[in-house]
């Protein structure tokens, strides 16, 4: 299939080409637009704001799973969901409990009791004999990082995300992002109960290409919840996002308060195929509107500035919220410095997912692999490209070739072909089996 593909060795400009399909563009090395997705019928693999987009338009409507769902915000859309903001976690669907039981039966879910938290609040505590810092429990609240959970971004990168929406402050946040060069996209860890209340902000985030991820139905401390409650909190939020985005099932979730442990993260992974993302810096922006405020814009400015000017290893995952105009203002204030300090900026889910932000679709516009139920999305996986399989791509692409390109200082010329996509943030081609890195020109 890639018999005609050519590529240069690393000593010259990276150039990939295919006889039937090739695009050559000049893209500024510092541009912040992202390119993700594999090309195929009905969808295109560059964002609207990418230079390539002017050459080949994609279907702006975005692919769906072919099911007709009630329009987001319509009466039909809001019917049939669990109660919003109930004190109790929503009862899970029977299919999800079956998947939970299967995971328990294969001993994939630790069996210790949930943590408890007293009425007055405070942090969760575990039964005596259980150490929250031990690898067997590894509570995020106690700062323990479970292998496979994500706390850090790759070196040099900052992954941008916002928790607790959609809410009215989502609008000024998106206004701001839309006004920036390249209209950067971000990740939203959305709360199911809030989605039902804010359909317009939800739709706006989705249609601009932002990455949607899960932040539970009622925002509890998840380690205090039973296995079934954990499944209900996650499952309903996944289903609501699925039914409101043409069938996409999120790939990432963030536990409220970062409160996860080996039991909760295992349920997310084993039942739903979710990867848990926490953070490595906390602005405490959620407390700006507390009375009295827990922090101030100037305090956030100062700590944020320190992180941005500090080490780029590891990269940054900063906890931020679309919870109030103040918390959005804290991000707006930081943005010029994020750009000025030379970080590679991207939506957090795009960064961590290497461009794939849903379990059954690459992004908000690419083809969707239909699933009958959200618990099946991980096993169903991404849609297959309808083009011929790239059987020889790895060998051919690695072997080098005779490609050529021209370059000017600060610019890179590249060509894309059917099984590769250029990720501006990671500064890498993502191909079926390739290990190219971008050359500095």
Give the number of other CB atoms < 10 A from CB of residue 310: 11
Residue from 33, 65, 149, 163 that binds Zn ion (CB under 5 A)?
A: 163
Task: Show Cβ contacts of residue 106 under 8 Å, excluding neighbours closer than 6 positions.
Answer: none
Parallel, antiparallel, or unpaired: how do β-strands 428-431 and 252-253 relate?
A: unpaired
How far is it, in rounded angstroms, from Cα 356 to Cα 353?
5
Which DSSP letter does residue 433 get?
Answer: S
What tokens does 276 get? 């848990």
Q: Is 289:389 a contact under the CB 8 Å cutoff?
A: no
Helices 325-340 + 170-179 axis angle, to 10: 20
How far is it, in rounded angstroms, from Cα 357 to Cα 270?
18
Closer of 332 and 439 to ligand NAG (Cβ): 332
Closer of 256 and 353 to Zn ion (Cβ): 256
Stretch that binds Zn ion, among 30-38, 69-77, 163-171, 300-308 (CB under 5 A): 163-171
Residue from 163, 211, 239, 424 that binds ligand NAG (CB under 6 A)?
A: 239
Q: Is 423:35 a contact under the CB 8 Å cutoff?
A: yes
Q: Where are the alpha helices (DSSP H) in 17-167?
A: 75-78, 94-105
Closer of 167 and 416 to ligand NAG (Cβ): 167
Does 13 sit near ligand NAG (CB under 6 A)? no
Shortest distance, position 319 Cβ to Zn ion, whole Å: 9
Closer of 68 and 440 to ligand NAG (Cβ): 68
User: Three-class SS of residue 99?
Assistant: helix
Q: 337 is in the binding site of which of Zn ion, ligand NAG, none (Cβ under 5 to 8 A by kind)?
A: ligand NAG
Residue from 192, 256, 258, 355 that binds Zn ion (CB under 5 A)?
A: 256
Stretch that binds ligand NAG, among 56-64, 94-102, 118-126, 331-339 (CB under 6 A): 331-339
Contacts with ligand NAG by CB under 6 A: the residue count is 19
Q: 256 is in the binding site of which of ligand NAG, Zn ion, none (Cβ under 5 to 8 A by kind)?
A: Zn ion
Does 233 sit near Zn ion (CB under 5 A)? no
Active site residues: 163, 321
Shortest distance, position 143 Cβ to ligand NAG, whole Å: 22
**E strands within 227-371?**
252-253, 275-276, 281-282, 316-319, 344-347
Query: What residues between 340 and 379 interact with ligand NAG by CB under 6 A?
Result: 352-354
What does 325-344 look like in DSSP terms, one character per residue?
Answer: HHHHHHHHHHHHHHHHTT-E
Shortest distance, position 87 Cβ to ligand NAG, whole Å: 21
Spatial CA neighbour of 350 closest among 209, 239, 218: 209
In sequence order, what are the beta bridge partners of 411? Answer: 28
Closer of 253 and 414 to Zn ion (Cβ): 253
Residues near Zn ion (CB under 5 A) are: 163-164, 256
Residues that bind ligand NAG (CB under 6 A): 67, 80-81, 172, 239, 243, 275, 301, 304-305, 308, 325, 333-334, 336-337, 352-354
């Amino acid at each position: 299939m890639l018999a005609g593909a050519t590529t240069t060795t690393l000593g010259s400009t990276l150039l990939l080409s295919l006889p039937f399909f090739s695009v050559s563009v000049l893209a500024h090395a510092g541009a912040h637009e992202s390119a993700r997705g594999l090309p195929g019928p009905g969808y295109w693999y560059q964002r609207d704001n990418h230079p390539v987009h002017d050459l080949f338009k994609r279907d702006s409507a975005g692919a769906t799973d072919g099911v007709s769902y009630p329009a987001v915000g319509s009466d039909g859309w809001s019917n049939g969901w669990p109660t919003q903001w109930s004190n109790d976690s929503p009862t899970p669907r029977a299919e999800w409990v079956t998947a939970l039981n299967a995971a328990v039966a294969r001993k994939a879910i630790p069996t210790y009791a949930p943590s408890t938290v007293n009425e007055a609040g405070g942090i969760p505590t575990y039964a005596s004999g259980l150490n929250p810092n031990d690898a067997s429990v590894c509570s995020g609240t106690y700062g323990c990082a479970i292998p496979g959970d994500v706390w850090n971004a790759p070196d040099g990168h900052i992954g941008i995300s916002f928790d607790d929406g959609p809410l009215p402050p989502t609008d000024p946040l998106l206004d701001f992002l839309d006004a920036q060069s390249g209209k950067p996209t971000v990740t939203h860890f959305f709360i199911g109960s809030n989605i039902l209340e804010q359909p317009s902000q939800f739709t706006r985030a989705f249609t601009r290409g932002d990455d949607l991820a899960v932040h539970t139905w009622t925002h509890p401390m998840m380690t205090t919840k039973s296995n079934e409650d954990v499944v209900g909190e996650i499952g309903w939020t996944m289903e609501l996002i699925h039914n409101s985005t043409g069938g996409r099932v999120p790939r990432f979730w963030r536990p409220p308060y970062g409160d996860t442990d080996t039991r909760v993260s295992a349920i997310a992974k084993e039942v739903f195929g979710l990867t848990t993302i926490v953070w490595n810096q906390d602005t405490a922006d959620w407390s700006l509107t507390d009375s009295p405020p827990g922090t101030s814009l100037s305090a956030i400015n100062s700590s944020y500035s320190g992180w941005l000017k500090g080490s780029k290893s590891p990269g940054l995952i900063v906890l931020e919220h679309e919870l109030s105009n103040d918390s959005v203002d804290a991000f707006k204030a930081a943005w010029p410095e994020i750009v000025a300090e030379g970080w590679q900026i991207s939506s957090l889910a795009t960064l961590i997912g290497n461009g794939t932000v849903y379990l059954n679709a690459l992004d908000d516009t690419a083809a969707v692999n239909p699933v009958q139920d959200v618990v099946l999305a991980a096993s169903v996986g991404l849609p297959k490209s309808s083009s011929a399989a790239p059987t020889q791509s790895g060998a051919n692409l690695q072997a080098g070739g005779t490609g050529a390109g021209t370059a000017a200082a600060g610019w890179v010329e590249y060509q894309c072909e059917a099984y590769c996509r250029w990720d501006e943030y990671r500064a890498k081609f993502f191909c079926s089996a390739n290990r190219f890195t971008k050359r500095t020109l």
